[in-house]
Amino acid sequence: MEPSPSAEILAVLGSIKESFFHVLPKLVVALVVLFVGWLVAWSLRALVRRVVARFSKRISAGTTAGTWQQALADKGLGRIVSSSIYWLVLLVAITVASEVVGLPVLTTYLAALAHYLPRVIAAVAVLFVGVVGGRLVSNAAMSTAFRLLPHQGQQLARLVRGIIVGAAILVAIKQLGVDVSLLTNIFLIVLAALLAGAAFAFGLGARSIIANILAMHYVNKSYDVGQRIRLGDDNGRIVRTTSTTVFVEHDEGELGIPGQQFFEERCLRVSKGESGES
């Protein structure tokens, strides 16, 4: 005797009911795991943002501090790190919940993603350190270069910053598991060419600077502040000297004369009513 349609429907409903009550505890546990994971992820994200914000505010004033503060603001370190931690914790919670429910395929994919995410965080951290380090070193290079080569200081600072950031990008890509052997070789070739060009340009630009520095070594021995001199069409009293220049009084202010000019032209020195020629 074949079962009636109503009996088949009741049997199906009974099977669904039995399966539901069998899965219900697992669903409850999975929801609890998801809620706890979300709560922990949200708390850690808020904590990291507060720590970064307080760290940025407590940095004392200065060039280095300004660089750090600018990097923290421009690159959104708090948002990047906190969001990475948030999604990492949330992925772990989803992986555990899917394993509790009994979804092995989803668990495998999520576990692989959760395993790969720390590499992304490390790559982001390397990029951040590279950007900040590039700014710090470029600022130091610029302040140093401006003392010797005022017209080339900015170019030198950009070159140094580009090298550091480029190296950081290569390291970050390697953290993601990508083979960067070819990119590294290309980077080294370009770096060698840039350094050679920079050295050549620096040598050309520093030639006159070095000549003036050497000349001032002897000028300071021959002339004193307060003496009156006549050099070509320029004349006046020496008011101060630097490592490369002699400044004399002028009708419109102070006239700067490069030290090398004292060896290229005849200079008349007048002191206490006496004159000398050198």
Q: Are residues 172 and 60 in the same domain?
A: yes
Three-state SS for 1? Answer: coil
Residue 51 lies in a domain: yes
Q: What strands lie across the sheet with 253-258, from one edge to the other?
A: 253-258, 245-250, 234-241, 228-231, 267-271, 274-277
Q: Are residues 16 and 93 in the same domain?
A: yes
Main-chain dihedrals φ then ψ at residue 233, nearest 5 degrees: -90, 0
Residue 260 lies in a domain: yes
Measuring CA to CA, how many Å separate 91 from each of 112, 113, 147?
A: 10, 8, 53
244: its two tokens: 């490369």
Q: Are residues 174 and 240 in the same domain?
A: no
- Under 8 Å between Cβ of 206 and 241: no
| Rounded-to-integer distance, Cα 231 and Cα 132, Å | 49
Q: Are residues 119 and 229 in the same domain?
A: no
Residue 198 lies in a domain: no
Residue 161 lies in a domain: yes
Residue 148 lies in a domain: yes
Residue 204 lies in a domain: no
Main-chain dihedrals φ then ψ at residue 65, nearest 5 degrees: -60, -45
pLDDT at residue 195, as a whole number: 77
Q: Are residues 153 and 238 in the same domain?
A: no
Range of the domain at 236: 220-277
pLDDT at residue 278, as a whole number: 43
pLDDT digits (tens, 9 = 90+) for 159-212: 788 888 888 888 888 887 888 788 888 888 888 887 777 677 666 666 777 788
Q: Are residues 146 and 236 in the same domain?
A: no
Q: Are residues 134 and 225 in the same domain?
A: no
pLDDT at residue 19, as a whole number: 61
pLDDT at residue 63, as a whole number: 47
Residue numbers in the chain where pLDDT is lower than 70: 1-23, 55-78, 105-107, 114, 143-153, 198, 201-206, 271-278
- Under 8 Å between Cβ of 146 and 161: no
Residue 250 lies in a domain: yes
User: 247 CB contacts (<8 Å, ≥6 apart)?
Assistant: 238, 239, 240, 241, 254, 255, 256, 257
Number of structural domains the chain divides into: 2
Q: Are residues 263 and 140 in the same domain?
A: no
pLDDT at residue 141, as a whole number: 72
Residue 71 lies in a domain: yes
Q: Are residues 34 and 125 in the same domain?
A: yes
Own/partner contacts of 49-54, CB < 8 Å, gap of 24 or more, are 49/78, 49/79, 49/82, 52/77, 52/78, 52/81, 52/82, 53/78
pTM summary value: 0.50
Phi-psi category of residue 235: left, alpha or beta, with phi > 0 → left and psi -120 to 50 → alpha: beta
Q: Are residues 231 and 131 in the same domain?
A: no
The enclosing domain of 252 has a CATH number of: 2.30.30.60
pLDDT at residue 275, as a whole number: 42
Q: Are residues 97 and 163 in the same domain?
A: yes
Q: Are residues 174 and 224 in the same domain?
A: no
| Rounded-to-integer distance, Cα 69 and Cα 263, Å | 49
